[in-house]
Structure 1
């Protein structure tokens, strides 16, 4: 039986707590410090230093209300990417260096969510990334410390917000004739980029123990299969294929959703993974660079670990040369979003987020 990551994390915490209780330390909070230390030591020093500088930049550029978006993209999804970047480093999310920033960010995301529909707003891109981030935070961040005293009774918990977000994703999919997603939750067409963001949110929620119907995942994977050619190219929009071109970002997205949904036996998965593995040095162009890095890192890691190791060395070298003095990474998406995506591409090295597990 496959045990959801949320249960594994809670089981590990329970085991550690039992030992500490015997030692007389059981009344002190202890959130996964042993796994954090273990994962942290395995990451090369140059990557850790680069990552830490990036996190320090994000911590310093966070707005007072908990979000990001100064001079760039702004919304629950952008905030969610920063949350994942902070969680992925292995710092204790409840008492660590970035615990205050994490709580502010999570509160900001939940406040932006429509309490009736569960939609996180701006676009289904934001909705997908926000759902993914809440899935990674669920079970790791203690809800008891999330809201200021006296406010928690009036606000949703992480789990409640996550369940509501999942419901919004499924409702949008059911109302879409392609069984996938477009920018608006009421869209009647779809594209593989937005659909990848939303589907990864659903898969992460399922991994965290939230109920996600198999039918929803299977229908979305069928959409991706229809959009994948025999040579591994992936189309952009529509519901019946076509429009195939050399988009490493879309090929990476398809490879990743096939892998995380446990559909590695599909010929479409074999085709997209083979294309990525044979084109390691090919990157996204212009403002798609960091977006491509984000998905390609995960897709290669899930599918071909040797190819990922080769590509990761190229990534580390490129990001090390391009990181700014303040720790940020520049790009047409704005320094904050570009930094979030670049850090998340590096975060696979930590292997700490549940969605990054193989």
Structure 2
């Protein structure tokens, strides 16, 4: 990742979701789905500690102390990590945290344009969080806000000659990280009932394909310099597009399988977030192998206060770590095969 892209990551932070089983979406009465598999005790223990940290560290306005903890995209990650655990978001133990997260995200949306925050990373992940909350949380503000956010995403793509997205709504170039983020948020919005034209997915996926080499690896702005994290993002978008029979999907999965022991030293939680989703959608047996390793890794690195630490906000690293484990619960609507 070049210096400019790293700086953009610092403005926010990263990562967006998916999983399997019967439709886990709750209705607004808070009716819970039934888990069909037992969640490992270690996962539940880590998850509860992580949620406790996020709940206790959150300020009344929904943000966190550090600069990145005031980015709406990161607050979106925190919101999704709560929703992914399966508690009633309207009256359960984290209802206050849910309400604060939503209030904060909505307060950062431009009432005219629908843009959330100041980067397309923030906008994409905040849009994803609204899409996941829609139909799960009783709040009449979510639907209109989500519609405006989706409209902004689609308008930004129309302005971009590549068919993808980058840092700002008026960008004319693109990269695989920002584009992958927007594609996932649009699939989540469509799942929530918001109309998204097929053309938007087709153009976005075409751009992603331009970043893929003949061995299935994805680069940042083109096929050169393929990376495991970027390949996980690309693979995930193909899974959501129901293109798993495509030969390119199989080559990308082969690329990921060769790197099950890989750890991204620069963006570890960004990597874990996407890798877990990509493998879950691609091959359940491979995901189980990865999930076991991820449980051990996160179990050894969780701080006594329940957080995970990185060079970025502990709110970001903790929520992203939890979301990499959330496929064990499979409650988020986007976590459907």
Q: Note the residue ranges of structure 2 that are not aligned, 5 or more in a row.
A: 1-19
Q: 2:171 is matched with which residue?
A: 187
Contact 1:248 1:283 survives alignment (8 Å)? no
Moved more, 60-69 or 78-87: 60-69
Tell me how far apart the structure 2 counterparts of residues 189 and 263 of structure 1 sit (CA, whole Å): 25
Runs of 4+ aligned residues of structure 1 deviating over 6 Å after TM superposition are: none
Tell me how far apart the structure 2 counterparts of residues 190 and 357 of structure 1 sit (CA, whole Å): 28
Give the counterpart of 1:171 among 151, 155, 160: 155
Q: 1:123 is matched with which residue?
A: 119
Give the counterpart of 1:317 among 296, 305, 324: 296
Larger Rg: 1
Tell me how far apart the structure 2 counterparts of residues 242 and 270 of structure 1 sit (CA, whole Å): 17
Q: 1:147 is matched with which residue?
A: none
Q: 2:3 is matched with which residue?
A: none
Give the counterpart of 1:220 among 192, 204, 212: 204
TM-score of the aligned structures, taking structure 2 as reference length? 0.90
1:8-23 aligned at under 5 Å gives the runs 13=27
Q: 2:14 is matched with which residue?
A: none
Q: Note the residue ranges of structure 1 that are not aligned, 5 or more in a row.
A: 14-28, 145-156
Q: 1:94 is matched with which residue?
A: 90
Tell me how far apart the structure 1 counterparts of residues 177 and 164 of structure 2 sit (CA, whole Å): 10
1:1-358 aligned at under 5 Å gives the runs 13=27, 30-33=29-32, 35=33, 38-39=34-35, 42-68=38-64, 70=66, 72-143=68-139, 157-237=141-221, 241-245=222-226, 247-286=227-266, 288-358=267-337
Contact 2:216 2:248 survives alignment (8 Å)? yes
Contact 2:63 2:69 survives alignment (8 Å)? no
Superposed displacement of residue 69, structure 1: 5.1
Q: 1:30 to 1:165 in 2, by over 3 A?
A: closer
Tell me how far apart the structure 2 counterparts of residues 74 and 308 of structure 1 sit (CA, whole Å): 32
Tell me how far apart the structure 2 counterparts of residues 41 and 356 of structure 1 sit (CA, whole Å): 15
Superposed displacement of residue 243, structure 1: 2.4
Contact 1:79 1:105 survives alignment (8 Å)? yes
Tell me how far apart the structure 2 counterparts of residues 330 and 274 of structure 1 sit (CA, whole Å): 31
For the residue of structure 2 that corresponds to 1:39, the secondary structure is coil
Contact 1:79 1:109 survives alignment (8 Å)? yes
Superposed displacement of residue 41, structure 1: 7.0
Count of residues in Structure 1 that have an aligned counterpart in Structure 2? 316
Superposed displacement of residue 230, structure 1: 1.2
Superposed displacement of residue 128, structure 1: 0.5
Contact 1:72 1:334 survives alignment (8 Å)? yes
Tell me how far apart the structure 1 counterparts of residues 279 and 168 of structure 2 sit (CA, whole Å): 30
Contact 1:9 1:139 survives alignment (8 Å)? no
Q: 1:17 is matched with which residue?
A: none
TM-score of the aligned structures, taking structure 1 as reference length? 0.85
